[in-house]
Structure 1
Amino acid sequence: MSNSDFKGQIVVYSIVGCPFCMRAKQTLRDLELPFLDINLDSYGESVRKEVRERSGRSTVPQIFFNSKHVGGYDDLKALLADKVGLDRLIEEVKNNESPPEAPKVPDSSELKKEKIGDMDFTCELDEHAVLIRDLKMSGIIKDHRKGLTTHKNTFQANQFVDWLVKEKSFDDRATGIVSGQDLLDRGYAAAVKATRDGRFEDNDTLYRLLEHDQNSALNAGLTSECEARPASDLGEDLRKLILSLYNDFLTPDGKSVNYKGIAESSQFKMYTRMTAQLYRVDIKSATREEKIAFFINIYNALVIHGYVAVGAPTNLWQRYKFFNYVSYIIGGQLYSLNDIENGVLRANRKPIGSLSKPFSKSDLRLVVALDQPEPLIHFALVCGAKSCPPIKTYSGKDVMNELKLAAEAFLEGSDGCQVNADKKEVKCSQIFKWYREDFGKNDKDVAVFISNHMGPGEKKTSFLQVISQKDYKVSYMKYNWAINSQ
């Protein structure tokens, strides 16, 4: 059928990188039904609010046949079994124009100026970039042996100062020391053996450019010549770019991702180059909200980068290695997925099954960690499993409202929680059991937390009725670790 065969209109509200949105649209294509796809990522919050008001839901996709709200992908799939009902809806759209109350294309004034996938990553060249280029050609960066250890690609502080005075015409050694300190403060270099005060002194202390740091970080070995950017802005841009990539290589049926295809794409190579900007990002001075948004975005981007670079984990041991070793250099320090989640966002709480906290008392990363854990991050962190919350990008200015919406969306689905009124039982995601201390002291506290963060509707009403009884039961569903890789 063509659009000309229909007087009315089928509308699908979706977001980038949403597998269930892809499945819903593919189902409509299989039925040869034309539809209008409205990407909510392209519009402001007012359009999202309108969709929530129309549908009564916080999730996507949301599907309308003229003014008739069908629901999400599961609702559309259920409708396929009801041939009479489906045919009735198709005839309604085919023979009748959309009434005034039916969804319409949002006004162009609602369009965001920046669209996902359309970003041009340009940057201001840092004034020290030329100095670093010359330093790498100076010959003072080489392998240094101290005791039984050989430190590759390092330079001595006093030799660096000598070079500045002789080759760069610095006035005196004091000015050279200031320049060396500036390189440390700007995140270009770090001491081989970290000192707590971080002072650059005119002696034989060894330093190494971060791009020469020998570690397993996925952004190691890159060159960062851009002026340092605010953490929240950089986090959003990196997340948007890799989310666009994820969407481009998500199969039309939304069931798998071609990670090999991502790895071979020119956009992924651009993304990888961009991760070098994380070296010198200033995260210490960020607000709590900016830290939360930044680290959620970077965590979610790092998961996809990890799948591309090392592959998706398929068993318990591989998952342990993946979340503990897949990492980025951020602000001069190494952060694994585990460090981001449990060290920073959970305020340095012990990971599942661990006897120790991610950061020791002397760890330089401890100053970046939140002072109090933020439980809502559990609805935003994407681990790549089918039971995880939906993929999104978070902004430093509105992250708490966005997290509340993510919680509503997660709890709206059957993976988040289920209610059995007859058995007076509520079933919750295993996330609430694993991280119980973030949600309360016991199962009853977990139930109250869930009720406070569910969106309005029949499910919440039923949930509240069950937990209002003294003898209700809280249980936890098995977690689905099935990976959506192709």
Structure 2
Amino acid sequence: MELKGQILIYSESGCKECMNIKTKLESLLLPYVEVDLVNHPDRRIEMENLTDRDTVPQIFFNDHHIGGYYDLIDLETSGQLDSIIDQVKNTPVPDTAPKPAEHSPNCDGEIVGWNRIKLESLLVKLADQGVLSSHRKMFTVYHCSFHGKDLIAWLTSQEMLSYQDALNTAGDMVKEGLVVHVTDPQHPFADSSQLFKVVGADFPSALNAGITQSCGDQSAVQISENLRRIMTSLSGRHISEEGYKVDYEGIKTDVEFAKYVMTAQSLQRVSLAGISKQALIAMFINIYNALVVHGIVSRGAPSNHYVRYKFFKNVSYVIAGHNYSLNEIENGVLRANRKGMADLSKPFPVGDPRLSVALESPEPRVHFALNCASKGCPPIRFYSPDKLDNQLNKATKSFLSSGGFSVNSDTHQVSLSPILKWYKADFGKSDADMLKWVCGFVNNTDEGRVLQELIDTKQFKIVWQDYDWSLNH
């Protein structure tokens, strides 16, 4: 439906009634713009002044304040909504109407309406009529996928589109982030044997699977920051100040956790193009730590080593159109595609598109930033790209000085957390290299000076500590 005017919603990511009101508008084929107050907190006072309310959603038809979701339903039930729609349909936006959000990486202000609904309905038809299928490419099976030429053939024969309209429609599906090339997220649509897939549909077990926000590619940095902000808020209420104890039941029932789950769905269609190394590392550390919490809350804590292995292999998020398990985030991305301690092969095989995200070399300090929900792990913290180097140094020093390392000058024994044993290759080629790396973070302490002397004289014996796998609650 074409509107001369504007429908604007003040909302918050994860708000159930906000989702309901957007779904209602889409069912009425009414395009709208959105000001998400999570991403634009400076607009909250404006909303409160305009509406005399402090709750979301609040909806405006031009400068006419309708109210919230139930106010909209009441207008529809009473028959008054049709005249309001007619007015916004035929009346240009007045200067007194609230303004859409500007320059938002989360696509606030983008008009969402008939075109997207049409594209999503076409995807449903594709599934119903068997165009979507499973295709194997090398060693990977892509579910809910199709060849570009088959989509064009279906659109021209079943939807009766001209060839050019079919190409434009298929291209719109890619631009909207509804479908993506199976190996190259930046690949444009092609009428060929190139293979495309429906975003998120081939990973139904991923914890962030589901309906994504109604917008195109979003900034990975911004979404990561939104998730970090929400989890930091949750941490303040349900994670001990030092970061070692987690109230999983409290998180499960916290309304803000529902907001986190909704925001995590946005990861399905983020754009990783041009992301800096610092931002990438911070993003995946934060996602890992939050995904562990999400996994425990949703699926329960692992009860033994085998269940724990399966947990880290299977608990996952869809990120930029591809599935990443906890194991793949740690060993594939942050450890530059190295085998995990219980794995026989690398996480990402040759030709895997996720290799483009993997670091060129391991970042060993991440081992003191990742929390696996056990008492032996480093504490839960969340990291910022602009402060990452200092934060990782601080996390490493803190872990080593809080029991992860000790030395006995009489026996020449160096006691270390088994984390350094499991990922020994990341710290150097030999025991001496590993101890030199440790020394770099404790060299200003008495124990550090003892360690340096043992390294210089090659008179050291490494003793591995026991690891406490019990849940950190």
1:439 aligns with 427
Match of 1:366 among 355, 361, 369: 355
Q: Deviations over 1:131-163 (max 9, x none)?
A: 332323456243344799799977862267559
AA aligned opposite 1:298? I
Q: Deviations over 1:306-356 (max 9, x none)?
A: 111111112111111111100000000000011111111111111112121
2:26 aligns with none
2:332 aligns with 343
* Superposed displacement of residue 225, structure 1: 1.8
Q: Deviations over 1:434-482 (max 9, x none)?
A: 1111001121111100001226233323333443333221221111111
CA-based RMSD: 3.4
For the 8 Å contact 1:228–1:281, the answer to whether it is kept is: yes
1:131 aligns with 115
Aligned pairs for 1:276-291 within 5 A: 276-291=265-280
* Superposed displacement of residue 267, structure 1: 1.0
2:446 aligns with 458
1:9 aligns with none
Match of 1:271 among 260, 269, 278: 260
In 2, Cα distance between equivalents of 1:252 and 1:374: 26
Q: Secondary structure at the match of 2:177?
A: coil
For the 8 Å contact 1:343–1:349, the answer to whether it is kept is: yes
Q: Deviations over 1:386-441 (max 9, x none)?
A: 12122222122231222112111111111x11111111111111011111110011
For the 8 Å contact 1:342–1:350, the answer to whether it is kept is: yes
* Superposed displacement of residue 194, structure 1: 6.1
In the alignment, is residue 142 of structure 1 matched against residue 127 of structure 2?
yes
Distance change in 2, residues 1:126/1:454 (3 Å):
farther
User: Greater relative contact order: 1 or 2 (C-alpha under 8 angstroms, separation 6 or more)?
Assistant: 1
* Superposed displacement of residue 222, structure 1: 2.4
Distance change in 2, residues 1:197/1:230 (3 Å):
closer
In 2, Cα distance between equivalents of 1:196 and 1:122: 18
1:75 aligns with none
Q: Deviations over 1:291-310 (max 9, x none)?
A: 11111111111111111111
Instruction: Give the stretch that moved more between structures: 299-308 or 457-466.
Output: 457-466
Distance change in 2, residues 1:341/1:284 (3 Å):
farther
Distance change in 2, residues 1:335/1:148 (3 Å):
closer
Match of 1:467 among 451, 455, 464: 455
Distance change in 2, residues 1:243/1:195 (3 Å):
closer
The gaps in structure 2 that reach 5 residues or longer are 1-104, 136-141
Distance change in 2, residues 1:455/1:224 (3 Å):
farther
In 1, Cα distance between equivalents of 2:132 and 2:445: 68
Q: Secondary structure at the match of 1:382?
A: coil
Question: Kindly, what percent of the aligned residue pairs are identical?
Answer: 36
Using structure 1 for the length normalisation, give the TM-score.
0.65
Aligned pairs for 1:221-236 within 5 A: 221-236=210-225
Q: Deviations over 1:210-240 (max 9, x none)?
A: 2544431101112222453332332232123
1:412 aligns with 401
In 2, Cα distance between equivalents of 1:393 and 1:255: 13
Match of 2:177 among 183, 187, 198: 187
Distance change in 2, residues 1:294/1:476 (3 Å):
same
Aligned pairs for 1:85-234 within 5 A: 124=108, 126=110, 130-138=114-122, 140-145=125-130, 157-158=151-152, 161-162=155-156, 173-174=163-164, 176-184=166-174, 187-190=177-180, 198=187, 200-202=189-191, 209-234=198-223
In the alignment, is residue 261 of structure 1 matched against residue 250 of structure 2?
yes
Distance change in 2, residues 1:413/1:129 (3 Å):
farther
In 2, Cα distance between equivalents of 1:255 and 1:369: 28
1:333 aligns with 322
In the alignment, is residue 310 of structure 1 matched against residue 321 of structure 2?
no
For the 8 Å contact 1:281–1:330, the answer to whether it is kept is: yes
* Superposed displacement of residue 184, structure 1: 2.8
Q: Secondary structure at the match of 2:283?
A: helix
AA aligned opposite 1:157? L
Q: Deviations over 1:98-133 (max 9, x none)?
A: xxxxxxxxxxxxxxxxxxxxxxx9851555775332
* Superposed displacement of residue 246, structure 1: 3.8
2:282 aligns with 293
Instruction: Give the stretch that moved more between structures: 236-245 or 306-315.
Output: 236-245
In 1, Cα distance between equivalents of 2:313 and 2:131: 30
In 2, Cα distance between equivalents of 1:253 and 1:399: 19
Q: Secondary structure at the match of 2:436?
A: helix
Match of 1:394 among 376, 379, 383: 383
Q: Secondary structure at the match of 1:403?
A: helix
In 2, Cα distance between equivalents of 1:392 and 1:378: 12
In 1, Cα distance between equivalents of 2:317 and 2:442: 34
For the 8 Å contact 1:140–1:160, the answer to whether it is kept is: no
Q: Secondary structure at the match of 1:398?
A: helix
In 1, Cα distance between equivalents of 2:309 and 2:238: 26
AA aligned opposite 1:311? G
Distance change in 2, residues 1:194/1:157 (3 Å):
farther
Using structure 2 for the length normalisation, give the TM-score.
0.67
For the 8 Å contact 2:364–2:426, the answer to whether it is kept is: yes
Instruction: Give the stretch that moved more between structures: 225-234 or 443-452.
Output: 225-234
* Superposed displacement of residue 177, structure 1: 2.1
Q: Deviations over 1:177-204 (max 9, x none)?
A: 245235335532136x768995534479
For the 8 Å contact 1:425–1:474, the answer to whether it is kept is: yes
In 1, Cα distance between equivalents of 2:113 and 2:154: 16
